[in-house]
Structure 1
Amino acid sequence: MAETVFIASMNDDLLHNILLRLPAKSFAFACCVNRSWNSVCNRILSRPKMISAFSRNPDQLRAGEEVLDKVLSEPIRPYFVIANITCGNMEKTLRLIAKRVGSRVPIIVSLVAGILGKEACNDKPEEVKQHATTDGVMSVDPSFAILLTIGYLPGMKVDVIPVILGNGKSEASIGDKFVMDIRNYVSVVSDHAAPACLILFGEDTHATELIILKLDYAMPAETIIVGDQKGEFLHKRANETINIQLHEYDSRVLAGLIFARDRHRPTQAGRIQFHTAISRGMSAVDLRYKAANVIVSLPGDGTFLTAKRRGEADVLNGDQIIEDLEENMLGNQIWDSDVCIGVIKRRKYSIGLEKKPKIMASLLFHLVTGADEQYLAVNGAGIKTGDCFQLYVPDLKVAEASLEAVSSKLRNLKSKANKTEVVGGFVFADSGRNDSFFGRPNANCSPFLENWPALPFGGIFCGGEIGRNISLEEEEENKETSIRRCLHVFSSVYLIVSFTSS
């Protein structure tokens, strides 16, 4: 009886200090005790949170428990969960997370080439990624690692919307449906016409490129779009059972984590903002070409092409294009397995019943896979005769300068008025941007570590990083035109979440 009286008579300050130290599950129980406790709990969670942690425990279940224990060790109400694993069973991880966070939380689990962030056991920053085997071939480290990111974003509504390719459906039709599904979701939960942010996870199929470009076309400029184009994923929507079984001929293409501003956000609440910064690692060779003869092999097998230098009539084969590269590189860089062509594709886009398609120009990259006295071979499809392109190669100087520019951008964000604080960050880095490329550890982490050493950020190594960006390019007729870059290579895309109090 004495203990009951003591608890009931505690003042709010003492109760606040006690509840503040509870792990997430106990905190959730405390919220339900009475109105007074609930009010104190709401004050504790008056600001948003994002927490990331990773584990390299080789036992998948134990590693999952370690990161869950870490991110749920303090008060938080999960609005979304992202789990990235380097190998293992995605469904096992999905079930473990759903059991701990509840059935009403949207979850994405993805299989990735590597992870970066802070280790759950010691908060030490680390990058766990691809390594070179004894025969020089790049391969994913077979040992298990998991990164878990959990977010509480009051004032936002969050859910997962998937793209499923069914038998007989076209890529254009499922792209239209994806855009309309996003718009419909936003119209139900928000007074805004478009989401604030989209985090995308794609399967390694040729269908993702067209869908992402259509999304880039359809969403307004203020919508942040980031993600991993090429991987594997499972998802669970809010209030949905785990891992809905697909029909026999259906396949997963893409899943988007949708962040929409809640129409019921209290007027006195602060405002969450999403920011992006992109560190590039490729430099363009100072020669421009037009595709002359283009042959597309079976879907997913690649493209063969010849080209003309700008302003010249001679058609060049694959060997001649590579000779151009060697002459311009002057032996200063190692490029043999990482050459790309950056193709400016001007295509018409429309959504649903739009009567007049509009032209959008995008810079898209294709890895060079071979060259001979007939053709230059590149991966992917979608290149047409007349498309302009340049050769691109990895460039350490560009990467280092670009990393410093990202760090400077984050520093400017950090220096804003005291009412703005950064609550979380996430990195989508190309798998080639490893320690051996930079010659130092944790280069991709450095913009966060330099500006917010205590920030619990996370990130993954991708096969194709997504980051929305518009730049100005000079065309043949010496006019500038806006060129969109949504799909990148050898880059790191940074997502930063900030909070401005009212």
Structure 2
Amino acid sequence: MEKSKKTDMSFIVSMNDDLLQNILLRLPAKPFAFASCVNRSWNIVCNHILSRPKLVSAFSRNPNQLKAAQEVLDKALSEPIRPDFVIANMTSGKMEETLSLITKRVGSRVPVVVSLVGGVLGKEACNDKAGEVTLYDEGPQSFAILLTVGYLPGIKVDVIPVIQAKEETEAMIGDRFVMDIRNFVSAVSDQAAPACLMLFGEGTYATEPIIRKLDYAMPPETIIVGNQKGEFLHKRANESRNVQLPHKDESRVLAGLIFARDRHKPIQAGRVQFHTAISRGVSSVDLSYKVANAIYGLPKCPATLMTAKRIGEAEVLNGNQILDDIEANQLGNPLKEPGLYIGVIKRRKYYVGLEQKPKIMSSLVFHEVTGADEQYLLVSGAGIKTCDQFQPYIPDLKVAEASLSDVSSQLRNIVSKPNKREVVGGFVFAGIGRGESFFGRLNADSSPFLENFPELRFGGVFCDGEIGRSLSGEEGEEKEESCRQRCLHVVSSVYLIVSYACS
């Protein structure tokens, strides 16, 4: 019997590389990891198999949270992969249990983010069919979990959290977050900034100014995407504990999944690229206002009471008058509630740490209109100042459909023949107001992927406050105002696409 075992082992070790690769390709992630440790020859074959990046997503509607998590983990780890990061998005349930299960399956060295969201989209683990689950359409009792596992050779990944102490201001934690990101990048990369930031926010008052500071501090080539409002747990790479709860005088604000190019693998790092595309879902009403007075609400539930003047006019309008003015400009069409937003141009001075000269940056930030009376217009969020200018915006299906077509074209351009690139994965941050209820059809936000890459295992979430870095220029503006940063969107979908240079 012992002689037979030795003969079998001798045969396995002596297999030619082509046969060995064909066998190893069929292994799930964990047995594949063990196989890579057999000997140097096997390790070389395993490294060859994993020479290309992978971004695998799968979701489950199983109402049993534990079984659903097992299903998506089994699907994502059913092929050879060495996870560089894991993201789990849930519509409800206990995040601690999911984080613990993921860590048990992928190991303690892998950074993980678990978040609660308003819905998920992608392909189901059980049948590979495209689908979506939103709390808006299916009710708060529905459950779904989406798992995304990534392997990006040449890219270093970790989670950096923003935890706010009771005495800390938004400026202080924003500076610390920027410096933590820069320190991580300088430790692992020859680049000055990360290639991509994926953000998961708690929806506190502090998230918006931090995101705008990131927009200021990071160079234009850094991709910034994410979800501004939600709940999250995280585990950093090599962190021993599964869950780190904040101190009683601290609160979670944000977690950033940081993607930096590895200085030790410059060739592989250059082959992986991140791209963004944005499908807008609102159009502006042809009116411009200036804030006459702004009163803030409570920090834990940020809101602003305001009055305004039309640009060039002296009369101060109360909340009801502003709504009447907008409705009249809509040719008498009644405004849908909810669904009215104001886009505020916030022209602010920015600096990080001990920078000597603050710089001015203009950001377009959306605030939802939540009420009005004979005194004030009530909008969500804070940070609005007297003399800020704004325009009304309303959801627009025609704009959204046309914009989806543009996104589909952008995806096709990524893999055009001269570029010799291959799309290996994608992730969508879609506004919670979209989905079937907005488009009147299923899988609209998935369509750019389904039309161009039907076999791609993409994923995405429906969220309240999608983040996507973009620029908007308005005709007739002065030169210094012509470039308005726009990181925060409404009724839009932000697409993160990962591509790979094939040659």
What TM-score, normalized to structure 2?
0.96
CA distance in 2, matches of 1:418, 1:401: 25
Report the counterpart of residue 72 of structure 2 in structure 1: 67
CA contact (8 A) 1:113 1:140 kept: no
CA distance in 1, matches of 2:481, 2:230: 35
Root-mean-square deviation (Å): 1.5
CA distance in 1, matches of 2:276, 2:198: 12
1:287-321 CA distance string (max 9 Å, x none): 10111122222223411111111111111111111
Q: Which secondary structure state, in structure 2, belongs to the residue aligned with residue 470 of structure 1?
A: strand
Report the counterpart of residue 236 of structure 1 in structure 2: 235
Out of 473-482 and 252-261, give the one that drifted further: 473-482
CA distance in 2, matches of 1:131, 1:159: 32
Out of 222-231 and 6-15, give the one that drifted further: 6-15
Give the C-alpha shift of residue 377 in structure 1: 1.1
- Residues 1:11 and 2:16 aligned together: yes
CA contact (8 A) 1:430 1:491 kept: yes
Q: 1:79 to 1:385 in 2, by over 3 A?
A: same
Give the C-alpha shift of residue 336 in structure 1: 2.4
Report the counterpart of residue 158 of structure 1 in structure 2: 157
1:1-400 maps to which residues of 2 (within 5 A)? 1=4, 2-131=7-136, 140-240=139-239, 241-265=241-265, 267=267, 271-299=271-299, 300-332=301-333, 335-400=336-401
| One-letter amino acid of the structure 2 residue matched with residue 413 of structure 1 | I
Gaps of 5+ in 1: 133-138
Give the C-alpha shift of residue 143 in structure 1: 2.4
Q: Which secondary structure state, in structure 1, belongs to the residue aligned with residue 483 of structure 2?
A: strand
Give the C-alpha shift of residue 247 in structure 1: 1.4
Report the counterpart of residue 445 of structure 1 in structure 2: 446
CA contact (8 A) 2:205 2:302 kept: no
Q: 1:425 to 1:202 in 2, by over 3 A?
A: same
Out of 463-472 and 367-376, give the one that drifted further: 367-376
CA distance in 1, matches of 2:268, 2:158: 24
CA contact (8 A) 2:153 2:268 kept: no
CA contact (8 A) 1:269 1:501 kept: no
Out of 180-189 and 3-12, give the one that drifted further: 3-12
Report the counterpart of residue 136 of structure 1 in structure 2: none
Q: Which secondary structure state, in structure 1, belongs to the residue aligned with residue 243 of structure 2?
A: coil
Give the C-alpha shift of residue 437 in structure 1: 1.2
CA distance in 2, matches of 1:3, 1:335: 72
CA contact (8 A) 2:136 2:432 kept: no
CA distance in 2, matches of 1:96, 1:468: 33
Deviating beyond 6 angstroms after TM superposition, the runs of 4 or more aligned structure 1 residues are 476-479
CA contact (8 A) 2:158 2:259 kept: yes
CA distance in 2, matches of 1:85, 1:269: 31
Report the counterpart of residue 462 of structure 1 in structure 2: 463
CA distance in 2, matches of 1:379, 1:302: 4
CA contact (8 A) 1:422 1:498 kept: yes
Give the C-alpha shift of residue 279 in structure 1: 0.5
Report the counterpart of residue 135 of structure 1 in structure 2: none
CA distance in 2, matches of 1:214, 1:399: 28
| One-letter amino acid of the structure 1 residue matched with residue 212 of structure 2 | L
Percent identity among equivalent residues? 71
CA contact (8 A) 1:86 1:142 kept: no
Give the C-alpha shift of residue 120 in structure 1: 0.1
1:119-138 CA distance string (max 9 Å, x none): 00000000100235xxxxxx
Q: Which secondary structure state, in structure 2, belongs to the residue aligned with residue 417 of structure 1?
A: helix
Q: 1:87 to 1:310 in 2, by over 3 A?
A: same
CA contact (8 A) 1:292 1:307 kept: yes
Give the C-alpha shift of residue 466 in structure 1: 0.3
Give the C-alpha shift of residue 418 in structure 1: 6.7
CA contact (8 A) 2:52 2:153 kept: yes
Q: Which secondary structure state, in structure 2, belongs to the residue aligned with residue 303 of structure 1?
A: strand
CA distance in 2, matches of 1:39, 1:430: 44
Out of 403-412 and 78-87, give the one that drifted further: 403-412
| One-letter amino acid of the structure 2 residue matched with residue 428 of structure 1 | F
1:164-187 CA distance string (max 9 Å, x none): 001211111010000000000000
1:406-439 CA distance string (max 9 Å, x none): 1111111122437310010000000110212111
Give the C-alpha shift of residue 266 in structure 1: 5.2
CA contact (8 A) 1:474 1:480 kept: no
| One-letter amino acid of the structure 1 residue matched with residue 371 of structure 2 | G
CA contact (8 A) 2:135 2:142 kept: no
Out of 448-457 and 265-274, give the one that drifted further: 265-274
Would you say how many aligned residue pairs link Structure 1 and Structure 2? 496
Give the C-alpha shift of residue 331 in structure 1: 4.4
Q: 1:334 to 1:435 in 2, by over 3 A?
A: farther
| One-letter amino acid of the structure 1 residue matched with residue 216 of structure 2 | Y
Give the C-alpha shift of residue 5 in structure 1: 2.7
Q: Which secondary structure state, in structure 1, belongs to the residue aligned with residue 474 of structure 2?
A: strand
CA distance in 2, matches of 1:4, 1:164: 53
CA distance in 1, matches of 2:475, 2:309: 18
Out of 294-303 and 308-317, give the one that drifted further: 294-303
Q: 1:423 to 1:237 in 2, by over 3 A?
A: same
Q: Which secondary structure state, in structure 2, belongs to the residue aligned with residue 424 of structure 1?
A: strand
Give the C-alpha shift of residue 480 in structure 1: 5.7
Q: 1:478 to 1:332 in 2, by over 3 A?
A: farther
Q: 1:70 to 1:342 in 2, by over 3 A?
A: same
Q: 1:373 to 1:266 in 2, by over 3 A?
A: closer
CA distance in 2, matches of 1:314, 1:456: 55
Gaps of 5+ in 2: none
Q: Which secondary structure state, in structure 1, belongs to the residue aligned with residue 214 of structure 2?
A: helix
Q: 1:268 to 1:493 in 2, by over 3 A?
A: closer
CA contact (8 A) 2:154 2:267 kept: no
